Structure 1
Amino acid sequence: MKTTLDYLKDRYSEEQSRFDHFENKCTKLLTFTTIVIGVVTAVAGANKGAIFHPQSPAGWIALAAFLAGAFSIICAWGHALLALRIGECPVLPRSRAAAEYLATVDADSQSTYLYNCHIDTLEHLAEVIDEKSRNIELAYQEISISAWGLAFSAVLTMIMEIAK
C-alpha cells in the first residue's frame, strides 16, 4: 500500500502542477484577448468608423469579415475568462477532524483513508483541469477564426483604399 500511496502523492503533485500550468495559460490568454479587443475597437473607430459605412460590395464583405473577427475574439475572451474562473480547486482533506481520525486509527485504516482521499481528489481535480482545457482550446480556435476574419477585412480595406 505504501507504493500505491507514494504513486498517488506523485500524481497529485503532477495534477497540481498541471492545474497551475492551465491557470497561467488562462491568464496570458485573457490578457492577450483583452489587448486585441482594445486594438480592434480602436481600429473600428479609425477614419470616423468608415468600415461601418460600406459603399460597395467589397465594403460589405470587409464589414462582414470584420464583424466575424470581432465576434470571434469576444468569444475567445469569454472562453478564456471561463477557463480562469475561480472555482473549486480540489485539495486533499486538511481539517482537524481528518488529522485526528488519522491519529486514532491503525496503520491499515490510515492507508485506506489516505488512498481514498487521494483517489477522490485526483478524480475531481482531473475534471476541473479538463474543463479548463476545453475552454482554452475553444479560445485558441476562436482566436484563429478572429485572426483570419480581421486579416481578411484589413487586406480588403487596404485594397479598396489603394484602388481609389
Structure 2
Amino acid sequence: MEETISYLQSRFKDEQSRFDHFENKCAKFLTAVSIVIAALGALASVKNGVLFQLSSPITVMIFCSFAAAAFCIGCSWAHAFSALRISDCPALPSSRGTAEYLKNADADKQQLHIYNCYIDTLEKLKAAIDEKSKPLDLAYSELVYGAGFIALLAVLITLRELSA
C-alpha cells in the first residue's frame, strides 16, 4: 500500500502542475487576446472610421470582415476569461477532523483513508482541468477564425487601396 500511496502522491503533484500550467496558459492567452482587441479598436478608429463607411460593395465586405473578426476575437476573449476561473484547485483534506481520524486510526485504516483522499482529490483535480481545457480550446479556435477574418480584411483593404 505504501508504494500505491507514493504513486498517488506523485500523480497528485503532476496533476497540480498540470492545473497550474492551464492557469498560466489561460492568463497568457487572455493577455494576448486583449492586445489583439486593442489593436482592432485602433484599426477601427483609423482615418475617421473608414471601416464603417459603406459606400460600395468592397467597403461592405471590409466592414463584414472586420465585424466577423471582432466577434470571433471577442468570443475568444470571453472563453479565455471563463477558463481562467472556472474552479479552484482541489486540495487534499486538511481539516482537524481528518487529522484526528488519522491520529486515532490503526495503520491499515490510516493508509486506506489516505489512499481514498488521494483518489477522490485526483478525480476532482482531473475534472477541474478538463473543465478548463474546453473553453481554452474554444478560445484558441475562435482566435484562429478571427485571424482568418483579419487576413481577409487586410486583403480587402489592399484591394480597395489598389483600385482607388
What is the TM-score normalised by the length of structure 1?
0.97
After superposition, what is the alpha-carbon deviation per residue over 1:141-160, rounded to whole angstroms, capped at 9, x for unaligned? 01100000011112201210
Partner of 1:149: 149
> How large is the Cα RMSD of the aligned pairs?
1.0
Write the distance in 2 (CA, Å) between the matches of 1:21 and 1:93. Answer: 23
Instruction: Name stretches of at least 5 consecutive residues in structure 2 with no aligned partner.
Output: none
After superposition, what is the alpha-carbon deviation per residue over 1:58-94, rounded to whole angstroms, capped at 9, x for unaligned? 1111111111110000001001101101632100001
Given that residues 86 and 131 in structure 2 are in contact (C-alpha distance below 8 angstroms), is that contact kept between their aligned partners in structure 1?
Answer: no
Paired amino acid for 2:39: V
Write the distance in 1 (CA, Å) between the matches of 2:2 and 2:109. Answer: 13
After superposition, what is the alpha-carbon deviation per residue over 1:95-144, rounded to whole angstroms, capped at 9, x for unaligned? 12211110110011001111111111010110110111111111110110
1:4-153 matches, within 5 Å, as 4-85=4-85, 87-153=87-153
Write the distance in 1 (CA, Å) between the matches of 2:113 and 2:155. Answer: 63
Write the distance in 2 (CA, Å) between the matches of 1:128 and 1:87. Answer: 6
Paired amino acid for 1:123: E
Paired amino acid for 1:21: H
Instruction: Name stretches of at least 5 consecutive residues in structure 1 with no aligned partner.
Output: none
Write the distance in 2 (CA, Å) between the matches of 1:132 and 1:86. Answer: 7
Write the distance in 1 (CA, Å) between the matches of 2:71 and 2:151. Answer: 14
Shift of 1:17: 0.3
Identity value in percent:
49
Partner of 2:158: 158
Shift of 1:23: 0.6
What is the TM-score normalised by the length of structure 2?
0.97
